[in-house]
Amino acid sequence: MIDTAVLWVRAEANMRAGRFADALVHLRHLVEVVDRIDFEYEEWLRAMAECLRVLGHGREAAACAAYLGATDVPSAETLGHELGRVAGGDVEAL
C-alpha cells in the first residue's frame, strides 16, 4: 500500500527546494493512485505539470494540463523547444 501523505510531503519539499526531478519521482507514484477524491488527485497532477514544465518536458506538461481541463495553446517557446528536440533526433520527443 502506498502512503500518499508521505509521498506528497516529499514531493512538496523537493519542489520548494528546487529539486524538480526528485519531486517528479514521487509525483509519478502519486498519480498512479486512482482511488482519491478529485481535488487531491488534481493537486498532485498540477504539481506534476509544474515539475515537467520546469524540467523542459512541455509535451508531458501539456498532457497533464489537458487532463485538468486547460485549453491554452502552448507557447511558441515550448513548441520551438519540442521541435528542436525532434529535429535533433531525441527519440523521447517522438
Q: pLDDT digits over 10-46, tens only?
A: 999 999 999 999 999 999 999 998 788 888 999 999 9
Say how many C-beta atoms besides its own lie within 10 A of residue 12's C-beta.
15
Is the predicted pLDDT of residue 94 greater than 70, yes or no?
A: no
Domain encompassing residue 8: 4-93
- 31 burial via Cβ count (<10 Å: 0-12, 13-18, 19+): middle
Q: How many domains does the chain have?
A: 1
